[in-house]
Amino acid sequence: MFIRPLVCSALFATAGLLAIIAAPALTAQDAVTPKVKGIYKMDCAICHGDNGNGKTDVATSLGVTLLDYTDPKSLADKSDKDIFDIIRKGKDKMPPEEEARAKDTDVRGLVTYLRSLSKGQTAAAVPAPPK
């Protein structure tokens, strides 16, 4: 009697989960929407700067040294998931970006946008190790 509703519920839940897992990844062009740029401007630029260099009066007053997103090396060792988690959950003095203000697709767009801030910049040459 109760088995049929439970089986149906389990099938619908599984189908929903598969739809989420199988959802196509956003492309860089799709992800960086005007909304994403607006979120950056309202919530991020005050500390990280309009251009992402992290040199702002607010960062200085908080006593923090922020990554320079205009430098291609600044995010090179961080995965998209690492950056997503930092934006979503916050880190140290950086507050989290709440779901009510930015959906997951918006946060993925912020990741893409942050990575785009260093496009066209040349990475500084790494000095050769001493002999």
Residue 94: φ, ψ to 5°: -85, 125
Note whether residue 126 is domain-resident.
no
Note whether residue 9 is domain-resident.
no
Note whether residue 53 is domain-resident.
yes
- Residue 53's contacts (CB-CB under 8 Å, 6 or more residues apart) are 68, 69, 70
Q: So what's the pLDDT on residue 16?
A: 46
3-state SS of 42-67 is: HHHHHHHCCCCCCCCHHHHHHCCCCC
Report the CATH number that the domain containing residue 42 is assigned in CATH: 1.10.760.10
Note whether residue 93 is domain-resident.
yes
Instruction: Quote the number of domains for the chain.
Output: 1
Q: So what's the pLDDT on residue 88?
A: 96
Cα–Cα distances (Å) from 128 to 52, 73, 122, 125, 131, in that order, read: 28, 16, 18, 9, 9
Note whether residue 92 is domain-resident.
yes
CA atoms within 13 A on the CB side of 69: 19
Note whether residue 86 is domain-resident.
yes
Any idea what DSSP says for residue 25?
A: P
For residue 78, the enclosing domain spans 26-116
Note whether residue 130 is domain-resident.
no
Q: So what's the pLDDT on residue 51?
A: 95
Q: So what's the pLDDT on residue 61?
A: 94
Task: Indicate the helix (H) or strand (E) that contains 7.
Answer: helix 3-21
> Which residues in the chain land under pLDDT 70?
1-30, 120-131
Dump pLDDT digits (tens) for 78-101.
999 999 999 999 999 999 999 999
Contact 88, 107 (CB under 8 A): yes
Note whether residue 37 is domain-resident.
yes
